[in-house]
Amino acid sequence: MSCSVNIIDLSYKIEDIALFENISLDVSHKEKVAIVGANGSGKTTLLKIIAGLIKQSSGEIKIFHESMKNLNDFDKHRGDIGYLFQDSDDQFIAPTVLEDVAFSLVNMGLDKEEAFQKARAQLVKLEIENLEDKIVYRLSGGEKRIVALAGILVLEPKILLLDEPSNALDDGCKKRVQNILNSIDSSTIIVSHELDFIKKVECKEYELTQKGLLLIS
């Protein structure tokens, strides 16, 4: 099966101390993978490396079989990679919900009106059209998470990287996010420390340890 992401012998060190070493993982086309691990095990760092936001200490990342030698190589795949930040406030850029969801579309060169139309359709799809004109920073935790997801899904990315998607959500919101994730067709890597949440998303599970990724199920 063709792979969307190949991680080969990846290591990351902070001041000579290894956060993780020699990690290898292949994520096939439309496959969903979950990575669990203790706090501070490097889950977010690993995801940021895959997204091309920070550089690994050693090892190789391939996106659609193309080796990413430096961070600039990721630029041409930016529209194909959707990255959900751990804290939704970090992800928001534009002031209102609609403007923020349309943000990436406009930057990908879409006409403003067309971008708003697509963003509106995404809000309807996730049943949050009532939030359209709200200021993003003043939404509840659950609403912020769904809006942040909308801002990514609107691009229809081929690779989805989700950092703690269930962060600070109540049971109702978690279920909603799980349903959204189960309905997505992209290759997905989810990192989380919540095993219960991951169990309800149809995906392969790995545990991140200092020595590498261990397949759980």
Taking the C-alpha atoms of residue 113 and residue 90, their distance in angstroms, rounded to an integer, is: 26
For residue 24, what are the CA distances in angstroms to 60, 120, 185? 9, 39, 23
Stretch that binds other proteins, among 12-20, 61-69, 122-130, 133-141 (CB under 8 A): 133-141
Classify burial at 19, counting beta carbons within 10 Å of its beta carbon; exposed 0-12, middle 13-18, buried 19 or more.
Answer: middle
Tell me which of 20, 99, 165, 174 binds other proteins, using CB under 8 A.
99
Question: Least distance (Å) from other proteins to the CB of residue 138?
Answer: 9
Closest CA to 161 of 41, 50, 7, 19: 50
Could you identify the residue written with the tokens 């990721």? Answer: 74
6 DSSP 8-state letter? E
Nearest residue (CB) to other proteins, 99 versus 143: 99
139 is an interface residue for other proteins by CB under 8 A: no
Q: Which amino acid is at 146?
A: I
**Subset of residues 146 to 165 that bind other proteins, contact rule: CB under 8 A:** 151
72 versus 183: smaller Cβ distance to other proteins: 72
Tokens 């609403």, located at residue:
143
* Using rule CB under 8 A, residue 181 touches other proteins: no
The answer to whether 43 and 194 are in contact (CB under 8 A) is no
Note the residue count of the chain: 217
Q: Which residue in 13, 58, 95, 170 binds other proteins (CB under 8 A)?
A: 95
Binding residues for other proteins, total number by CB under 8 A = 34
Task: Kindly give, in sequence order, each residue whose CB lies less than 8 Å from that of residue 215, ignoring residues fewer than 6 positions away.
Answer: 204, 205, 206
- Examine residue 121 and tell whether it contacts other proteins (CB under 8 A): no
- Name which of residues 35 to 94 contact other proteins (CB under 8 A): 48, 51-54, 78-79, 81, 83, 85, 87, 89-94
Selected from 4, 45, 104, 188, the binder of other proteins by CB under 8 A is: 104
Q: What residue ranges bind other proteins (CB under 8 A)?
A: 48, 51-54, 78-79, 81, 83, 85, 87, 89-96, 98-99, 102-104, 106-108, 112, 115-116, 133, 135, 137, 151
